[in-house]
């Protein structure tokens, strides 16, 4: 009799233990609700972080990127037009004579002169006009000629120098000269051809 009661008691205890550890439906629902609530909180935090980051990027762009883009556009806005507007033979000395009239593109002019006697020279008057609305600075003057003629002919440019600024709407006159060097032995060819180029860039703000 005692043994039977003992078995029943053990069985009852086992049932009670199982009942204690078995989750109820409301506990499961509560746990799910907590999980959903935590998930929503995590999503909300992520949204807040992304919103703050986006606002920071917008502020940075407004402060730094837009002025930089404006400056780049500002340098390109405007009409750039600097060209020769007049070229003519101003003077010759000795027996120098013009073989062909000068030809030119916008800022590159080509001359052809015959020098017969040492000391001969030819001088051209050139006019450069800034017809655009951007101030320009002369950065270089380049003379090109036949390599053989370079031994005999001297070139010079007066009235304009590198670094000079040509304001929008203004013109500048320069003298371009070529002369037969008296201090060399020999003579150039029958016609000496040379060209000169004036290189301008937009004036940089100081």
Mean pLDDT of 190-202: 92
Average pLDDT over residues 103-131: 95
pTM above 0.85, yes or no: no
CATH of domain 82-202: 2.60.40
Residue with tokens 């304001």: 167
- Given pLDDT bands bounded at 50, 70 and 90, which one contains residue 37? low
Residue 102: helix, strand or coil by DSSP?
A: strand
pLDDT at 17 over 70: no
Task: Give the β-pairing of 136-145 and 97-104.
Answer: unpaired
Nearest to 93 by CA among 111, 113, 112: 113
R_g (Cα) of the chain, nearest Å: 45
How does residue 27 score in pLDDT terms, banded at 50, 70 and 90? low
Q: How far, in Å, CA of 11 to CA of 171, rounded?
A: 116
């Amino acid at each position: 009799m005692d043994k039977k009661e003992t078995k029943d008691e053990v069985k009852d205890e086992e049932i009670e233990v199982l009942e204690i550890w078995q989750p109820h439906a409301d506990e499961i629902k509560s746990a799910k609700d907590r999980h959903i609530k935590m998930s929503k909180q995590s999503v909300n935090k992520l949204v807040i972080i992304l919103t703050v980051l986006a606002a920071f990027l917008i502020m940075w762009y407004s402060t730094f990127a837009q002025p930089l883009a404006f400056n780049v556009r500002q340098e390109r806005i405007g009409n750039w037009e600097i060209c020769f507007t007049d070229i003519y033979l101003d003077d010759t000395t000795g027996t120098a004579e013009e073989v062909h009239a000068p030809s030119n593109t916008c800022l590159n002019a080509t001359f052809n002169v015959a020098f017969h006697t040492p000391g001969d020279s030819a001088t051209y008057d050139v006019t450069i006009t800034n017809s655009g609305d951007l101030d320009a600075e002369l950065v270089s003057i380049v003379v090109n000629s036949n390599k053989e003629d370079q031994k005999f002919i001297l070139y010079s440019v007066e009235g304009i120098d590198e670094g000079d600024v040509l304001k929008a709407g203004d013109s500048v006159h320069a003298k371009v000269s070529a002369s037969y060097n008296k201090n060399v032995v020999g003579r150039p060819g029958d016609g000496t051809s040379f060209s000169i180029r004036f290189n301008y860039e937009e004036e940089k703000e100081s």
